[in-house]
Structure 1
């Protein structure tokens, strides 16, 4: 019988199912939550990991945040409420970005996990910024030259340092409690990455895809999309500085899906 993804254990505690695959390391999420909480970011407090089976699945037991997600609130949220939540997120991002490293990926495993990278191997664990960018640029320039166009004009430069990013700041992963305090949940793919990978996570099209009503040709849908653009701008600034990286990842994302078994000189060993 399949275990539910989330179990409500009490009014103040819940358990979330994590792990169970080669790519998952529950301690990546635990360490990121603890680091963010120590910085002052509102994150559910970690309680314990409880093993479920022999395949690496666990229940991550944590504090239960009582409130509604931005996804649930977005249709009725006022402009003032939007700006207040965005300003809180802006503060959290500034705190997270003070944590830097010369590595890439999860805080414990060093594995790279991203919705934008779908190849079988991924970069070598704990890759340096140069190695990580070398991996990305291989997909742009060297991937299947007999089939794929080379894009040397999109080649990325390594960041001086990688920063701690959540990487999945969609409305479903932000909760407002009864006092209007913002909490960030679901740190499963967080880790050390370039700053643009945080911005990609709150891009309007990818973050709002679960709210189908925003696709409607109505005043409410137009207002909802406009408020999200404003929310994103207040929280994370203008995306113009990441325009080239966005173009590069548009190519990289497709190629890592189509040629998932290809190995780069910077790939992890299975």
Structure 2
């Protein structure tokens, strides 16, 4: 599946390109290899990540890496060759306090704009679904587990999954009042990055150059973007204070999620 013009260096097998990239360029993260001054190859990834990248690039002005081509992996996943966006992760800058207050405000404003654009995307169906971008592929989310899951035809079905199948009538006894309260509410469905944490925000010239790592993205209940920001090990508390200005807050839902994180984390993992 090609997304750009031909170049002679691309005729090398994927394995050779990855090997050469690891030898000649600085290592990024375990599943991302830089293969030229302007390109990286990420993988193996689930197809839902490719769907999200193409969808967001087509329907918003959010800065995301350009996709050039994909390669099949042996297990149904894919490798994605995409643009290497130069810059520094917001995590690195925020930890080093290398940002002025004005720069932080500009970044938070940019993040607010990105989230607003995502939330304004019309869902593909009037149903309260939880699904990948196209609704055809399974979702991926580290909050759930290492394997894909879904899609779900309703938020109720998704919430039941998060509870490990515990019926709503037994939820208060098992997980407490807050989980019961949240899982009986009605929510809108919004397109969600679902991992909008500092390491996935690339900064250049004190502005957002790219939002990366769309592997968890999809259609979720409206609170999921907010609660997932807190499903992270970033240690600077002032980040969590600042980011509340960028994203609608759902603190009751966050309390419910934290109760589930403690009592039944990774519901997608099979338990014997």
Structure 1: unaligned runs, 5 residues or longer: 20-24, 215-223, 264-270
Distance 1:119 1:140 in 2: 24
Q: Report the equivalent of 1:61.
A: 81
1:145-224 to 2 correspondence within 5 Å?
149=174, 151=176, 154-155=179-180, 156-157=183-184, 159-178=186-205, 180-203=207-230, 206-207=231-232, 209-210=233-234, 214=235, 224=236
Matches within 5 A, 1:1-270: 5-19=31-45, 25-26=46-47, 28-38=48-58, 39-52=60-73, 54-74=74-94, 75=96, 76-101=98-123, 102=127, 103-108=129-134, 109-118=136-145, 122=149, 124-136=150-162, 138-139=165-166, 141=168, 149=174, 151=176, 154-155=179-180, 156-157=183-184, 159-178=186-205, 180-203=207-230, 206-207=231-232, 209-210=233-234, 214=235, 224-226=236-238, 228-237=239-248, 239=249, 242-253=250-261, 254-257=263-266, 260-261=269-270
Shift of the alpha carbon at 1:14? 1.0
The answer for the alignment partner of 1:221 in structure 2 is: none
The separation in 2 between residues aligned to 1:256 and 1:160, in whole angstroms, is 22
- Asked if 1 retains the 8 angstrom alpha-carbon contact of 2:191 and 2:219, the reply is yes
Over the residues paired in the alignment, what is the CA RMSD in angstroms? Answer: 3.2
2:7 corresponds in structure 1 to none
Matched residue count: 234
> What secondary structure is seen at the aligned counterpart in 1 of 2:245?
helix
1:237-261 deviation per Cα after TM superposition (whole angstroms, max 9, x unaligned) = 4x3xx23222222233332448943
Q: What TM-score, normalized to structure 2? A: 0.73
Cα distance change on mapping 1:97 and 1:121 into 2, 3 Å: closer
Report the CA distance between 1:115 and its aligned residue: 3.1
